[in-house]
Amino acid sequence: QMRRSLEVWKMGTVNYLEALKLQEKLASDRKALKITDTLLSLQHPPTYTVGKRETVHNLLIPDSELKAIGAELHYTQRGGDITFHGPHQAILYPIVSLRDIGLGARKYVEKLELTMIELASMYGVKAQVGRRCETGVWVDDRKIGAIGVRISSGITSHGLAFNMDPDLNYFKHIVPCGIADKDVTSLKKEADVELPAEEVIQEKLIACFVKIFGYSNVILKDKSKL
């Protein structure tokens, strides 16, 4: 078994567009073999993002009202529908070479789902994958984790967002992931145990990712001071 390395950047809270630019740069560096597989772990200020299908009709409030609720709207090149990112949500953006880890797109997404299912189970919450066409991770029919990935020349970007304890009211202004009759939930709402600090939960999410994707060598970088 080859020793596979992953560099993990712990970034704190990062503006969405900054994170987007960084992912583009890292993806092109990864493609050029300048860097090893890299994982960004962060949170965003309140942001709605639309995938490449541009399903902006699933945003239920006029653009002009976004400012009033303190949110931004951004268009991206990832798959998936409209989603919300905000404080108290654990986000992972893997910049990895699927060829190097021998995974196809479907298998890759399944492992991202497993990463969140594993994390939820650590706090006694039984999460599972959705039905056909429902990506992400669910507790019964409430969504606790979202996935939207981009794969270009075999290199991944974007990734997953797991709801630790975000303000769920933000989700009322969209049709989350284009599925109208489903609720959104959080670890805080579903867990019967006292949750540790969010930083600890984010650490655990990284650990689940490392385990499920089989990395043997992890290099941690604290980039939150950048």
Catalytic annotation, residues = 177
**83 labelled ligand-binding:** yes
**147 labelled ligand-binding:** yes
**156 labelled ligand-binding:** no
Token pair recorded at residue 92: 């992972």
**191 labelled ligand-binding:** no
**78 labelled ligand-binding:** yes
The amino acid at 21: K
Taking the CA of residue 109 as centre, how many other CA atoms within 13 Å lie in the half-sphere pointing to its CB?
A: 18
**102 labelled ligand-binding:** no
* Residue 214 three-state SS: coil
Nearest in space to 73 (alpha carbons), one of 81, 87, 58, 84? 84
Q: What is the largest CA-CA distance in the chain?
A: 54
* Helix, strand, coil content of the chain in percent (nearest 5): 35, 30, 35
Distance CA 79, CA 89 (A): 20
**174 labelled ligand-binding:** no
**84 labelled ligand-binding:** yes
The binding site comprises 78-85, 146-148, 159-161
Annotated binding-site ranges for substrate: 78-85, 146-148, 159-161
